[in-house]
Amino acid sequence: MREVAFIKQNKEKWLSFEKAIVNNDFDNPDELASQYIHVINDLAYAQTYYPKSKVIAYLNQLSANAYQKIYKTKSTDTNRIIEFWKTEVPLICYQYRKFIYIAFIIFSVFTFIGAISAANDGEFVRSVLGDNYVNMSLENIEAGDPVAVYKSGSNWGSFIGITINNLRVGIIAFVLGVFLGIGTLYIMFKNCIMLGSFQYFFYDKGVFWESVRGIWIHGAMEIFAIVIECAAGLILGASILFPATHSRYTSFKLGAKTGIKILISTFPFTFAAGFLEGFITRYSNIMPHWLSVAIILITLSIISYYYLIYPFKIQKQITKTPNLSLSHI
- Average pLDDT estimate for 2-31: 79
- Average pLDDT estimate for 80-103: 91
Mark whether 105 and 64 lie in a shared domain.
no
Does 4 or 329 have the greater pLDDT score? 4
DSSP state of 329: -
Mark whether 276 and 129 lie in a shared domain.
yes
Last residue of a domain, one of 19, 39, 73: 73
Q: Is 329 part of any domain?
A: no
* Enclosing domain of residue 52: 3-73
Mark whether 272 and 155 lie in a shared domain.
yes
Mark whether 100 and 208 lie in a shared domain.
yes
Does 256 or 52 have the greater pLDDT score? 256
Mark whether 94 and 69 lie in a shared domain.
no
Closest CA to 194 of 246, 254, 263, 124: 124
The pLDDT value given to residue 326: 30
Mark whether 120 and 267 lie in a shared domain.
yes
Last residue of a domain, one of 73, 100, 115: 73
Dist. CA 102–CA 120, nearest whole Å: 27
Last residue of a domain, one of 54, 73, 92: 73
User: To 10 degrees, what angle do helices 55-72 and 310-319 make?
Assistant: 90
Q: Is 327 part of any domain?
A: no
Give the tens place of pLDDT for each residue, 82-93: 888 998 899 899
Q: How long a stretch of residues is the chain?
A: 329
The pLDDT value given to residue 38: 80
pTM of the predicted structure, to 2 decimals:
0.77
Give the tens place of pLDDT for each residue, 218-236: 999 999 999 999 999 999 9
- Average pLDDT estimate for 179-190: 96
Report, in angstroms and rounded to the nearest whole number, the Rg of the chain calculated over CA atoms. 23
Dist. CA 145–CA 36, nearest whole Å: 59
Q: Which residues contact 19 (CB under 8 A, 6 or more apart)?
A: 25
Mark whether 67 and 107 lie in a shared domain.
no
| pLDDT tier for residue 185 given thresholds of 50, 70 and 90 | very high
In the chain, the number of structural domains is 2
Mark whether 7 and 119 lie in a shared domain.
no
Closest CA to 134 of 70, 185, 204, 66: 204
Task: Please answer whether residues 194 and 129 qualify as being in contact, where contact means their C-beta atoms are separated by less than 8 angstroms.
Answer: yes
Q: Is 264 part of any domain?
A: yes
